Structure 1
Amino acid sequence: MKQLHKQSTSFRKDEEMPFSQTPPYSPKSLKHPRSLPRSLNYILKEQRLLFILVGILIGSTFFIFQPSFSLLSPSDPRGRISAGERDSVVRYRDRTDFSNNYANHAAGGTYNKFANGVGRVPVGIGSKRKRIVVTGGAGFVGSHLVDKLVARGDDVIVIDNFFTGRKENVVHLFGNPRFELIRHDVVEPILLEVDQIYHLACPASPVHYKYNPVKTIISSHCTNVMGTLNMLGLAKRIGARFLLTSTSEVYGDPLEHPQKETYWGHVNPIGVRSCYDEGKRTAETLAMDYHRGAGVEVRIARIFNTYGPRMCLDDGRVVSNFVSQAIRKQPMTVYGDGKQTRSFQFVSDLVDGLVALMEGEHVGPFNLGNPGEFTMLELAEVVKETIDPSASIEFKPNTADDPHKRKPDISKAKDLLNWEPKISLRDGLPRMVDDFRNRILNEDEGKGNK
C-alpha cells in the first residue's frame, strides 16, 4: 500500500509541475549550405583525388616505358645495355641458324643463340621455344634427336619404358632444365602439353622382335598400334604436330629398286618379320587416317639402315654385329652368300632429316637413308679396314624373308626438304667403332676379363 501511495504521489507531482519548467525543445541548428557538392567535397577533404591522380600517373608511366623494360638485361642490376646488345636481343633467329649452332656446339664450339640473326621483330618478341615430346627418346636414334633439340633451345620430354633404350644414352642431360625423362609405356595413355611429338617408340632390331614372336606381336605390334593411337589422340587433343618414324621394312623384299615412296611394297604378312613390318604399315595407316579425318598435322619418315654411337652392342643389325665381332676378335657372321645389298646412313644425317621433316610443310612419307649401296661382303671389308685387317668372315644360312636389295630413292627429300646425307660409311664408321670399343672394354672389365 505504501508503494502504491508513493507511486501515486509521484505521479501527481509530475502532473502538477508547471509547463514552464519543462526543458524547451530546440531543433538541431541547420548547417550552412556548402558551396561544392557533398561527394566532391568529401574527395577533396580526404585526399582521395590525390591518390587517384598518382595511380593514373604510375599506370601511364608503366605502359609508356614498358618496351624499354623488356630490353633490360636480368643479369645487370643497373639495367644498362649497349646499343649493340639491344640489336642482338631483337634479332630474329630462323631455323637454319639453329642447325648451324647445333653443328658448332657438337664440334665443341660455343652455342650462340643470337648468332647470324636475320631480320627484325618488334621489341619484346622473340622466337618461341618449343615444348617437344620424344617417345623412345632413350634409344639409339631418339637420344641423338634429343641432343639436337635440347642444344637448339627447346624443352624436351623423353618417354621411354627402357625395353631397348638405355639411361646411359641420356644421362649427360640429367640436371639440364630443358630436359625431362618419364619412364612410361606409350601403350598406356599419357597427358602432356606439347607443340610437337616425335614418335620413335618401338623395338626395331631383329633380335628383339624375333626372340619371342607371339610376345612381339603383343608388344611391338601393340606399341605400333596402341602406342601410335595414344600419341595421335594426344596430338589431336592439344593440336600438336606428330611425326611417325616408320621404316624401310614396309617395302618388304622389294620388287622395285631403288625404292620410291610411291611403291606399295612386297611384304609377307605371315613371315617371321611380319610382326614388325605389318605393325609399321598399320601405324602409317593410322597416321594418315587421323590426318585426313581429324585434321592432325602428320609427318611420316621411312628410315633406312642407320648406324652410329649408342647402338645396342648385340641387336642383330649387320653393322653392329660386324663391329662387335671384329672388336672381340670373333669371326664376322655373313648370312647367305653375302650379296644382299643395304644402304647405311650415319645417325646425325638421319636426325637432320627428321627435324627438317617436322619443321617442313609436307606430310610424306619420305625416304630417309643414304643411297650408297653396299653388299654384305663389301661392308665386312670396310669394317676390317677400320678395325682389324686380319678379321675373318664366317658364312651361315640366310634368314627367312631377308630382303635381297634395299636402297632408297631420296629425290623427294632432296626436292621438298632440302635434305640429303653428308657422311659416308668410311667417315662415319670410325666414330661408331670408338664408342663400341669403349663400351665393350668396360663390359669386359666388369666381367673380370682384362
Structure 2
Amino acid sequence: MERVLITGAAGFIGSHLCDRFVSRGFYVIGMDNLITGDMGNISHLLPLENFEFHHHDVTKFVHVQGTLDYILHFASPASPIDYLKIPIQTLKVSSLGIHNLLGLAKDKRARILIASTSEVYGDPLVHPQSEDYYGNVNTISPRGVYDEAKRFQESMTMAYHRFHGIETRIARIFNTYGPRMRLNDGRVIPAFMGQALRGEDLTVFGDGAQTRSFCYIDDQVEGLYRLLFSDYSNPVNIGNPEEITIREFAEEIIKLTGTEQGIVYRPLPQDDPMQRQPDIGRAREILQWEPEVDRAEGMRRTYEYFSRLSPEELRKKEHKDFSSHIKR
C-alpha cells in the first residue's frame, strides 16, 4: 500500500484529495494545524484503517514515521479574509513550510506536488494566462503576502528539483468551488453562496465587469491526481477556461436560489485582478485533462449541499476568528 502525506487535509481541496486517495487504496496521512481547516471535512475518514490524522503546523519540523511515496502540500490560507488577517502565517507556510516538506521529500525519496495558484499572475497583462506568463504582481500590497508566498514556493520547489533531483509537480490552481467550501471567506463563490443562503443582497466589488473562471472540485481533484502521476515538473494550470463577469455570475446565483435578492456594489479592493482565465493547453496535452462539469451543474450540486446543512453546520462553515493565532 503506497503512502501519501496530504497537508491542509482538513481544508476544502485537501479533504477532497484525502477522499480520492483513500478510495484508490492509498494509506493517507492527513496533516493540518486547523487554523482554517475543519475536522468535519474529514470526520468520515477517521475510522478507516488506511487514514490517520496529525494535528501539526508544517512551519515547524515535519516528521512522518515509515516510508512515504507522495506528498501533496495544500496547507495555506487561500482567501483574502484569511491572508489579510494572518499575513505572517501565510508567508511562513509557503516558505518555512515548503522548506520542511521538500526536506522530507528528499529524506523519504518521495514525489511532491505543491498547490500554487493563479494569483502568481497577479493582475494580468496577458489574457488568457498561460504558464509561460511571468505575472504582474505588487510585492508590497496587502495581497502580496499570498501572491509572493506562492511565487517563492514555486522557486523553492524548482530549486530542490534541479539541485537535489527531487521529483516535483506544481499545480497553478484557478478558482475552485463545491461542497465543503468555507462561506464568506472573501472569494466570489463562497461570498455569494453565504449571502444567498441568508437571503441577503449579493455584494459585487467594482462595477462587476471583472472576470473569473470557476472549476468544480471533482474536476480539480482529477486534474491534480493526473498531474501527480505525470512526468512533468514545470507548472501546470488546473482550472476551467469558461470565463464570466462577476456581475453576470451574481445574476446566475440569484436565478439559482430563486430569491428576490438584489446586487449591491462596493469599491474594488487594491490590486484585485480584473481578468482571470486559464490557458489549459498544457493540461490538455500532458494530462489529457479538461473540466467536465459545467458551471450550472456544479453550482446546483454546491447549492444543494449547503441547503441540506443545519443552521449550526452552516455557522461552522463561516470564516474563523484568528485572534489566537496572530503573532507579532
The bucket for the TM-score relative to the shorter chain is over 0.9
Q: Is the 8 A contact 1:313 1:436 kept in 2?
A: no
- Residue 441 of structure 1, CA deviation: 2.8
Shift of 1:323: 1.1
1:186 aligns with 2:58: yes
- Match of 1:426, SS state, is helix
Question: What is the alpha-carbon distance in structure 1 between the residues aligned to residue 165 and residue 114 of structure 2?
Answer: 16
Shift of 1:432: 1.0
Rounded Cα–Cα distance in structure 2 between residues aligned with 1:330 and 1:410: 35
Structure 1 SS opposite 2:282: helix
Q: Find the counterpart in structure 1 of residue 323 from structure 2.
A: none
2:253 aligned with 1:379, yes or no? no
The answer (yes or no) to whether the contact 1:324–1:436 under 8 Å persists in 2 is: no
Contact 1:308–1:347 (CA<8 Å) still a contact in 2? yes
Residue 390 of structure 1: how far off its partner (Å): 1.6
Secondary structure in 1 matching 2:169: strand
Gaps of 5+ in 1: 1-128
- Aligned positions of 1:133-282 closer than 5 A: 133-192=5-64, 193-211=67-85, 215-216=86-87, 218-282=88-152
Match of 1:322 among 192, 212, 222: 192
**Higher mean C-alpha deviation, range 327-336 or range 187-196:** 187-196
Q: Deviations over 1:300-349 (max 9, x none)?
A: 00000000000001211110111111111101000000000000000110
- Aligned-pair RMSD on alpha carbons? 1.3
Equivalent runs, 1:30-429 vs 2, <5 Å: 129-192=1-64, 193-211=67-85, 215-216=86-87, 218-429=88-299
Q: SS at the partner of 2:94?
A: helix
CA-CA distance at 1:438 after TM superposition: 3.0
Asked if structure 2 preserves the Cα contact closer than 8 Å seen for 1:413 and 1:419, the reply is yes
Relative to structure 1, is the Cα distance of residues 445 and 165 closer, same or farther in structure 2, using a 3 angstrom cutoff? Answer: closer
Q: Distance in 2 between matches of 1:436 and 1:389?
A: 16
Matches of 2:211 and 2:249, distance apart in 1: 9
Q: CA deviation at 1:384?
A: 1.1
Q: 1:443–1:157: structure 2 CA closer, same or farther, 3 Å change rule? A: closer
Which residue does 2:326 correspond to in 1?
none
SS at match of 2:106: helix
Cα shift readout 1:185-241 (whole Å, capped 9, x = no counterpart): 000112223100000000001110112xxx41x211010000000000000011000
> Which whole-Å deviations, capped at 9, do the CAs of 1:356-410 have from their partners, x for residues lacking one?
0001111120000000001001111111121124221111111110000000000
Indicate the structure whose relative CO is greater, using CA pairs within 8 Å and at least 6 residues apart. Answer: 2
After TM superposition, what 4+ stretches of structure 1 lie above 3 angstroms from structure 2? 442-446
User: Greater helix percent: which structure?
Assistant: 1
Distance 1:315 1:436 in 2: 15
| CA distance in 2: counterparts of 1:384 and 1:423, whole angstroms | 20
| Structure 2 unmatched ranges of 5 or more | 317-328
Q: Distance in 2 between matches of 1:223 and 1:190?
A: 12
Asked whether the 8 Å contact 1:144–1:351 carries over to 2, the reply is yes
The two structures have a TM-score, normalised by structure 1, of 0.68
Give distance in 1, aligned partners of 2:315 and 2:221: 33
Cα contact 2:306–2:314 (8 A) shared by 1:
no
Amino acid at match of 2:60: E
2: distance between equivalents of 1:380 and 1:164?
26
Q: Is residue 199–residue 259 contact of structure 2 (8 Å, CA) maintained in 1?
A: no
Q: Which has the higher strand share?
A: 2
| CA distance in 2 between partners of 1:172 and 1:443 (Å) | 15
What letter is aligned with 2:195? Q
Tell me how far apart the structure 1 counterparts of residues 278 and 148 of structure 2 sit (CA, whole Å).
Answer: 19
Q: Which amino acid is 1:372 matched to?
A: E
1:171 aligned counterpart, secondary structure? coil
Instruction: Count how many residue pairs are aligned between Structure 1 and Structure 2.
Output: 314
